[in-house]
Structure 1
């Protein structure tokens, strides 16, 4: 169930790169004071909030999704107080989000719970569509049913739905990785905005109609309204953001995570949407840097193969772990810009990239001032800040210690 093929090595998402320079209610009227007494009238009763949820599961559409109330574990974003140091946000994100035979989805979901980490899972819509119904997928510039990833088996679809349900209940975000994972020729980089709109609409349809498409009778609905839950995505191979952004904006997205190779700086908006790029991180022992994604470490270390020399696995794992930690330390002790990390549920090079991520999560997520969160939570926090303060933060070099009393007023 590979998510990225070796063809992605030709794209801009791989290889070592140099540093790029309210409650509602009614209040009864207050009676007029009595003419025969000085006793003040009692205060009016407090308004009664209008409930937004009655505690009952509301099944949506064909029963594939539901509304079960507000998502647990979602912190209220707070505006920085004068002189306050920003939190150090770290986002672990996962492309594809398929629970396969290696059980990596469940492994990292449990690790997140154990380490106070909420994450973003970018779900490929095809992982909820059985191969027997593959022609329901009409990919842009390709024949119906075509895809560059494998369709999931029925047991894998059931396992994935179960993990998505548990992940959301743990406070994680379910975004989109779209559908067919087409790269290079006739891939997302060549799609028009209208074609991206079609790809996005189909991704939503597959998730919200999996019960009809699969015929499953024994699987409960996902516990969220995906049409409202879905507020961001990452394009396969990080291709096509220019034409994708207008499609995402039309769908009400709040962020996009498809931009590659940017430095560790505080985010800006593109087309009115927060741009959350993968980032250039220090590469141990080299003067260059590497993109903050497992596939790119693989490309630097073993080239076109996902099964490189086992004698080098320990060294490559150490390089990957130290690169992530060096990127973290640079901003944790400097600008406090968020750190964005991308991953796949894969056992490339003996699973060394999965182990490196586990080690990093255990190392950083419980440190003072660190918040391991989803992309949506970062967007929530940024939207709560004074734009002038964010402008000041963007002027900082990643490793530059800041005078927070001067920057945050």
Structure 2
């Protein structure tokens, strides 16, 4: 090669190497946060479903939230302890516990669940629609819940009362979900005054980060695509029950309904896991709708996703604690 060409080639190579050296280094790609899944149960009545859900949690490492209706801590003999706003003593939309022994068994399940790291929340007491209630009505309902929970052993003559029970009843319940997801302005005025840190009564178009307003973190059950036409439905078993069978039992279709529910849960999860990783909320009741189709779908779903390395199935309480801890660190520059 002639000398002039060798010099030109060297010069071009030198310029290229300098340009490479002076270029900005590649920016590190931020690691995705873990996918959060929030699974909750309303009313928390049947003892067998307490046991079944706790077994599911143990094998998957999940922590759940149980929204308890306080009337299930009252027997037929003690039901008059509850007086709903505008109602007579001993009235409830969902009945009461069948016996004092059932109350004792339920209290044991609550204690076991709490000891295992689960979140016990309030679902009020009598399962009345409170959308027309005043702030004073809501505060009265919250007061009834806390009084009945705190005094459940004494009210029902169950002894001995476990050590620390009253401290737990006073301090551990920091979340609420309204019956029928029915809310009004007065509710959100009453929640912080009653000591609640979060509310899970909302419904959103899809998974979303929960905002905190006036000291209350507001969660919302998302509407998710479901079924052959991917029509959106609130991600709760009762809404699926109405969608699938009009709110009536269809035992012959239980398997198909379970599969549809599972596919809806999994598709909603996959969309977030492969996307923005917004928290995914799923809501259930202890009732076995359509022969347990939705619990079967839940177990299939949780067995698959809650054990994944990049997934955490946690309670609302744990989510709020993390959120507020992060906010505190940011505030102090940590």
TM interval, short-chain normalised: 0.7 to 0.9
Q: Tell me: CA distance 1:222–1:329, structure 2 relative to 1, closer, same or farther (3 Å).
A: farther
Question: Distance in 2 between the 1:126 and 1:204 partners?
Answer: 12
- Are the structure 2 counterparts of residues 283 and 222 from structure 1 closer, same or farther at C-alpha, using a change threshold of 3 Å? farther
Q: Does 1:143 align with 2:88?
A: yes
TM-score in terms of structure 1 length: 0.70
SS at match of 2:203: coil
State the Cα deviation string for residues 81-126 of structure 1 (Å, max 9, x = none): x9342221111101111234xx011111111011000111111111
SS at match of 1:174: strand
**Structure 1 CA distance, aligned partners of 2:285 and 2:81?**
26
* CA spacing shift, 1:84–1:380, aligned 2, 3 Å: farther
Where in structure 2 are there 5+ consecutive unaligned residues?
1-28
Structure 2 residue 61 is matched with structure 1 residue 116: yes
Say yes or no: does 1:297 pair with 2:240: yes
Is the 8 Å Cα contact of residues 175 and 200 (structure 2) preserved in structure 1?
yes
**Pair 1:279-2:202 in alignment:** no
State whether residues 262 and 277 of structure 1, in contact with CA within 8 Å, keep that contact through their aligned partners in structure 2.
no
- Indicate which of 191, 195, 199 corresponds to 2:137: 195
In structure 2, relative to structure 1, the CA distance for the partners of 1:106 and 1:284 (3 Å cut) is same
More strand by share: 2
The answer to whether structure 1 residue 92 and structure 2 residue 39 are counterparts is yes
Q: CA deviation at 1:221?
A: 5.1
Q: Name the SS for the 2:291 alignment partner.
A: helix
Pairing of 1:7-406 with structure 2 (within 5 A)? 83-100=30-47, 103-152=48-97, 153-182=99-128, 187-218=129-160, 220=162, 223=165, 225-305=168-248, 307-308=249-250, 310-385=251-326
Contact 2:39/2:314 (<8 A) preserved: yes
Cα deviations by residue, 1:160-211 (Å, 9 ceiling, x for unpaired): 11111110111001111110001xxxx2111111100000010000010012
Task: Flag the 1:316–1:363 CA change in 2: closer, same or farther, 3 A.
Answer: same
Q: How far off its partner does 1:155 sit?
A: 2.3
Q: Do the aligned partners of 2:124 and 2:141 also contact (CA within 8 Å) in 1?
A: yes
Q: Is the 8 A contact 2:57 2:63 kept in 1?
A: yes
Query: In the comparison of the two structures, how many residue pairs are matched?
Result: 300
Moved over 6 A (4+): none
TM-score with structure 2 setting the length = 0.85
Give how far 1:219 is off: 5.5
Let me know the Cα RMSD of the aligned residues.
Answer: 1.9
Distance 1:180 1:93 in 2: 19
Q: Is the 8 A contact 2:132 2:184 kept in 1?
A: no
Question: 1: distance between equivalents of 2:164 and 2:50?
Answer: 16
Unaligned 5+ segments in structure 1 are 1-81, 390-409
